[in-house]
């Protein structure tokens, strides 16, 4: 089966059709949009109140258009530019508004409706717009002017008081001459301590009769508030003994840590604790009380271990320890160990020149009233680098807390740099099971930082 389709006469016909299509698209895209209400009703603008019983409305942006209009709110008739049906009229440079017989009042509304054609590309679209205007249709024609200031009452923001300039500082529609509350704060000007600036609470810190909102020197010390280190307390010499920016005259309520709580009422006066948290209710805020329960037990253990290691390093570095197998004990007589404490002992077994096994042993050894018993060992190289672990938990008693600690540590250059401590505290205010404190790095002060993980064991 053959399908016969029409053929274009030539390629040029096809190109002409394409060009025509492009011109249509381009023309449509480049056509300006029809003007808005605001662009059309500008002389005067919509909502205008005329002072007399007549007025003229001039349309803008439509000088080349045929415009049909009504002034009674009716929809204008528009038949291809014919505006002669009903109350529809043809616009001829101005729309005349006037009061009709029987219309009475100083603000009679007149609704102007217009229709006009607007070309969009190759087509024409009918557009409609409307606006309200108001006439003064009282019996005098020119409008009543009760105060004789030349402004009809209908437009006068003080119809009973002369206010020729119509000044209205607070923009509330009531002229300044007859506005008894210029700042709209609920206080009449004659009793308002800040008549031109809202001061609804009538605050007056220095009781000078001038409200704080409009008083540039609230404490009357001769220094403007913006430059005063005590804006509410007289401090004419601007003394500031601690150079904290708060003058001595108002610094008696000191907030050392800047957490919003005066030192006298702050449960952590030197450490910020804005929420004043105090978990154990002892009057000392959590932020400055340090750890509790298992955490306190662990930190006390660290104090003991690192204290002993500091003693050992000092002793070792200042003695000529021989190579090979030797025992080295630290006694109360030659260290900070408490008198009567059983020895801490370090045993080093050298396997070859580059490594050695070091064992640290404690048996009821006491330092700063804390006592530990146990041992830890590891294979360290000549730079004192390697592991240091416990084969069984170390017993520890300190500050009323007792329990056990297991260690798997990494030493570098003789100092602890990695690993973890599993800690079980045997007291009611501690965690029910052991907690793993893992070394995760160091803080800005080069102190070790730990993560905390609760374990399902009591060691």
**Cβ neighbours, 10 Å, residue 420:** 18
Structure tokens at 160: 């009973």
Question: Which residues have CB under 8 Å from 265's CB, separation 6+?
Answer: none
pLDDT tens readout for residues 193-226: 888 788 888 888 777 778 788 877 878 888 888 8
In whole numbers, what is the pLDDT of the chain averaged over residues? Answer: 79
Reply yes or no on whether the pLDDT at 261 is more than 60: yes
Q: How confident is the model at residue 394 (pLDDT cuts 50, 70, 90)?
A: very high
Highest mean pLDDT among 170-174, 305-309, 416-420: 416-420
Between 120 and 29, whose confidence is greater?
A: 120
b/e per residue, 363-387, with b = 16+ CB within 10 A? eebbbeebbbebebbbebeeebbbb
- pTM (predicted TM-score): 0.39
Reply yes or no on whether the pLDDT at 305 is more than 70: yes
Phi, psi at 417, each rounded to 5°: -125, -10
Dihedral, 326, 330, 333, 336 alpha carbons, nearest 10: 160
Helix (H, G, I), strand (E, B) or coil at 142: coil
Mean pLDDT, to the nearest integer, of 263-291? 83
* Range in 47-61, 294-308, 345-359 the model is least confident about: 345-359
Tell me if 337 sits within 8 A of 345, measured CB to CB: no
Q: Options 3.40.50, 2.60.40, 1.10.1060, 3.30.1310; which CATH number does 37-135 get?
A: 2.60.40
Q: How confident is the model at residue 53 (pLDDT cuts 50, 70, 90)?
A: confident
Whose CA is closest to 432, among 453, 454, 452?
Answer: 454
CA distances from 122 to 22, 316, 337 (A): 12, 101, 104
Tell me if 49 sits within 8 A of 59, measured CB to CB: no
Mean pLDDT, to the nearest integer, of 223-235? 86
Reply yes or no on whether the pLDDT at 323 is more than 60: no
Tell me which DSSP letter residue 174 carries.
Answer: S
The predicted pLDDT at position 161 comes to 83
Highest mean pLDDT among 113-127, 166-180, 361-375: 113-127
């Amino acid at each position: 089966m053959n399908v016969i389709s029409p053929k274009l006469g030539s390629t040029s016909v096809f190109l002409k059709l394409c060009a025509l299509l492009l011109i249509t698209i381009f023309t449509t895209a480049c056509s300006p949009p029809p003007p808005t209400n605001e662009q059309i009703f500008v002389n005067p603008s919509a909502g205008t109140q005329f002072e007399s019983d007549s007025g003229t409305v001039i349309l803008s942006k439509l000088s080349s258009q045929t415009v049909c209009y009504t002034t009674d709110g009716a929809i204008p008739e528009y038949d291809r530019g014919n505006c002669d049906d009903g109350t529809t009229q043809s616009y001829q440079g101005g729309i005349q508004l006037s009061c009709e017989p029987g219309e009475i009042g100083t603000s009679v509304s007149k609704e102007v409706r217009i229709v006009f054609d607007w070309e969009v590309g190759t087509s024409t679209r009918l557009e409609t717009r409307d606006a309200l205007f108001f006439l003064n249709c009282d019996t005098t024609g020119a409008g009543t002017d009760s105060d004789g200031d030349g402004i009809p009452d209908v437009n006068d923001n003080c119809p009973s008081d002369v206010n020729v300039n119509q000044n209205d500082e607070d923009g509330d529609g009531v002229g300044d001459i007859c506005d008894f509350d210029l700042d709209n704060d609920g206080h009449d000007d004659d009793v308002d301590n800040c008549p031109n600036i809202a001061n609804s609470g009538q605050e007056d810190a220095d009781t000078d009769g001038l409200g704080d909102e409009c008083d540039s020197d609230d404490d009357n010390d001769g220094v403007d508030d913006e430059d005063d280190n005590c804006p509410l307390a007289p401090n004419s010499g601007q003394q500031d003994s601690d150079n904290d920016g708060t003058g001595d005259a108002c610094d008696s309520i000191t907030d050392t840590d800047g957490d919003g709580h005066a030192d006298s009422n702050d449960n952590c006066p030197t450490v910020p604790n804005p929420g004043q948290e105090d978990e154990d209710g002892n009057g000392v805020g959590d932020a400055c009380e340090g750890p509790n329960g298992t955490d306190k037990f662990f930190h006390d253990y660290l104090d003991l271990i690192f204290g002993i290691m500091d003693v050992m390093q000092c002793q070792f570095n200042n003695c000529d320890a021989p190579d090979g197998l030797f025992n080295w004990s630290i006694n109360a007589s030659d260290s900070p160990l408490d008198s009567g404490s059983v020895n801490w002992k370090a045993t080093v077994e050298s396997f070859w020149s580059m490594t050695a096994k070091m064992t640290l042993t404690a048996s009821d050894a006491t330092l700063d009233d804390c006592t530990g018993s146990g041992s830890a060992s590891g294979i360290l190289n000549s730079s004192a680098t390697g592991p240091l672990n416990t084969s069984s938990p170390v017993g520890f008693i300190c500050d009323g807390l007792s329990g056990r600690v297991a260690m798997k540590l990494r030493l570098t250059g003789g100092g602890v740099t990695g690993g973890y401590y599993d800690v079980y505290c045997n007291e009611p205010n501690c965690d029910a099971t052991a907690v793993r404190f893992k070394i995760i790095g160091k803080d800005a002060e080069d102190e070790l930082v730990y993560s905390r993980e609760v374990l399902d064991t009591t060691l």
